[in-house]
Amino acid sequence: MDIKTQLNEALKAAMKSGDEVRKRTVRMALAAIKQAEVDRQMTLDESAVLGILQKEIKIRREALEEARVANRPDLAAEAEAEISVLQAFLPQALSPDELHALVQATIAEVGAVSLADMGKVMKVLMPKVAGRVPGDQVSQAVRELLQK
């Protein structure tokens, strides 16, 4: 079952159960996906949908930090609840060791030897880890291994 279908099913279930936080969060995610489809004038594939979900989680993490700085525990709790709802739709995250092994294998596959080859490695690696690891962590791991 693709992610959009899972989101639609979760929305139906949340509406039936009366779970307002889950209903609101799933609706916002579906709206963001629909907006991206309208903007791009095409149906999004799974990796693009995962990217949108990650972006929504990032937005809520920023809101969480702002709420904590502003000493608003009510808003912080709401943001945490929304993050947990959205994370349920993401695939299992890679551990640092798994990411390290995948980066090493990709560097060997591409034949990269210096930081100048980082773009080639990232181009091959990002589709493999889409939705499972944030891009900045992937970039950092590639940079560390290429500098050795």
Domain covering 96-147 in this structure, CATH number = 1.10.10.410
Domains in the chain: boundaries: 3-87, 96-147
Query: 35, 8, 33: which is closest to 22 by C-alpha?
Result: 8
* Predicted pLDDT of residue 133: 83
The angle subtended at Cα 94 by Cα 91 and Cα 99, nearest 5°, is 140
* Predicted pLDDT of residue 41: 93
Given a cut of 80, is residue 148 above it in pLDDT? no
CA 30 to chain centre: 15
* Predicted pLDDT of residue 50: 87
Chain segment 132-141, per-residue pLDDT in tens? 888 888 999 9
Domain covering 3-87 in this structure, CATH number = 1.10.1510.10
Chain segment 2-59, per-residue pLDDT in tens? 999 999 999 999 999 999 999 999 999 999 999 999 999 999 888 889 889 989 999 9
For 13-32, give one letter per residue: b (16+ CB within 10 A) or e. Answer: ebeeeebeebbbbbebbbeb
Given a cut of 80, is residue 119 above it in pLDDT? yes
* Predicted pLDDT of residue 23: 97
* Predicted pLDDT of residue 127: 85
Given a cut of 80, is residue 130 above it in pLDDT? no
| Tokens (6 digits) for 132 | 């499972």
